[in-house]
Structure 1
Amino acid sequence: MGDSHVGFGNSLSIYKRLLQQAVKSGRKSFCIFGGDNKHGSTGTQATTDYKAFKNVATGILGPKHIPFKASIGNWEDNTRAQFKQYLGDVMGKMDFPGTQGKVKYVWLDNAPGKFSFASIDLLTKLDPNFYYIIDCHWPLKVNGITVDPSHVLDAQETAHFFHAIPANVRDKVLAIFTHHAHTFYQNLSHISPGFNETQFYVCGCSGDYECKCDTTGCGRGYYEGVLTLNNGKASLKITPVES
């Protein structure tokens, strides 16, 4: 789920409704928030917006014992201290819940439209003994991507990302989730040479900011995933949920 933009218009209530919908049924084990969790506020208003975002997340997910992690987005780049205070580190790696450490979740910092040195360094150290799900805010420029070009990383920065991942890890990257473009997009194969098993996604918007509405709806929503481990091999099935 990405681009909740709490603090803009009716975003808080939309985000709350979508999150409640996302976890109301089934056995959910983890929730990813992909950046621009709050809108463009600074100072005390940013604190208010971060608190509101986190209070909704903990209020809905806490009673269900569902952990969550948020990436940092471009609207949060100038409030990093508050982001860290309320939502934790801007990049890192952790065990994906429910996988006994076999799958790792990696969240990266590309909030200003390029990856931080620390994020690229983290990628270079990925271990081929594990599987990975990666999240960052700005979409990569992958084969066939059709989202707004102004909301996609350039080819050089995209190559920087792909080249940083060791060759013997590339088939262990199950999926890359990105956001920022306020739409749904997916590419399920051959997103870059060597990444033969990696699925790529851009997430729909989960708030009220720049949702592109037409006669079929507004494209608001999220992705729902089923992560399966069978005899040590991991697989992932993703379904877009529009609301």
Structure 2
Amino acid sequence: MEKAIVVSSYKNLLEEMDGYDIIYLGDEFCPNFITLDDLLKLKNIRKKKVFLTPMVTDREIQKIISILDFNKKNILFDEITINDIGLLKYIYDNKIDIKINIGRILLLSLSSSITSNYFINMFKKLNISSFEIDSADHLKYINNLKNKISLHTPYRYITMTRFCPSAKNRWIKDCRNRCSKRYMLLQSKLFGNIFINGNAYFYRDEPLLTDTRITRIIESK
């Protein structure tokens, strides 16, 4: 079983990477963590590296495309986790050769349509490494697929917002990633404690899954 850690910046990585086989650098929810500078700093770290990407706008997808172009000649990361259907289609249309993880946000967005003929044919032509989940509920979407599964723990994703509570519900042009290692706590009758990090909402849930396709545990702290 591979053990991975999610970090949003290179600074956080230095504090967290011991004891892990794989580094996920980036963010599933906020495009402000997409930086080539941080990825460049990974070059000499001898661990498997995954570029973690969120849902993106047209402007932000261009930033990711430029990073992918750079990665062709200067291998900074081994895999990319994709949570945006537009980015997935771009990689498919342009036949970019890189290992792809289907992120948990994209998996939930596609839900049952992920096993449609359209996506099955697309996945056959793409280099799909794994599907990422954080709950046994998600297995129903990929039961008919033989790909590997990566499990996010210990926080289960609930939803995300367009605006960032850490930035007082507004966009900040010069975002300094104030939310990088800071959580806010809410109380919910349904979920109990809800943790807010940036623009995403979670609750703590560590599912005991026995699916033999699970080959990687992805931890967030």
- TM-score interval for Structure 1 and Structure 2 normalised by the shorter chain: 0.3 to 0.5
> TM-score, normalising length from structure 2?
0.46
More strand, by proportion: 2
